[in-house]
Amino acid sequence: MRRRGLVGLVAAGLLVSACSGPSASRDAHADTRHWITSTGLGGTIATLQRTTATAERLVSDPTHDPNDLQTVCSVLLLGVQQANGDLPAPSDHQLSALLAAAYSDLGAAATACGTSGFGSAQLAAFERSRHQGLEALSEASARAEVVMGAPLSTSTTFPSDPGSAS
């Protein structure tokens, strides 16, 4: 009888600890907030927006130097690839999906504008992908600000010890 009571007590203890796991005892967004800070997401978003705007200015200028456009588009593609390497955001599938969509579209825009012999077909693909990418990036930024409970830092410099950022 005593043994049955002990087994029941242990089982009840395991059940209670399983139900109150770590997510119940700590903020569900803590991992995502740390990820946003340590990856410099706000700076990444700001850099991608600025680089995309530079590409847009060159595309809109009929006298643009094709080499300048290809360089800016290559920089944009590199930035997108680096940002994509930070995915997924922990504990936030919505933020990960928005960023993945933004990076995919901005990567397509970079590929279109970096194409040799940039013409009307590439321009249409660039504009469509640029617009969709920036829209998804804006939504991701808004989602990240909700998670952070504050505006994102758009600094493009990182702390010397990313682990010390809060």
Q: How confident is the model at residue 26 (pLDDT cuts 50, 70, 90)?
A: low
Mean predicted confidence (pLDDT) in 149-158: 78
Res 147: pLDDT: 94
At residue 57, does pLDDT exceed 60?
A: yes
Cis omega before residue 22 (within 30°)? no
For the chain, domains (ranges, CATH) are 28-151 (1.20.120)
Mean predicted confidence (pLDDT) in 100-116: 94
Res 101: pLDDT: 98
* Rounded CA separation 72/68 (Å): 6
Q: How confident is the model at residue 118 (pLDDT cuts 50, 70, 90)?
A: confident
| CA distances for 30 relative to 25, 37, 158, angstroms | 11, 11, 19
At residue 64, does pLDDT exceed 60?
A: yes
Average pLDDT, the chain: 83
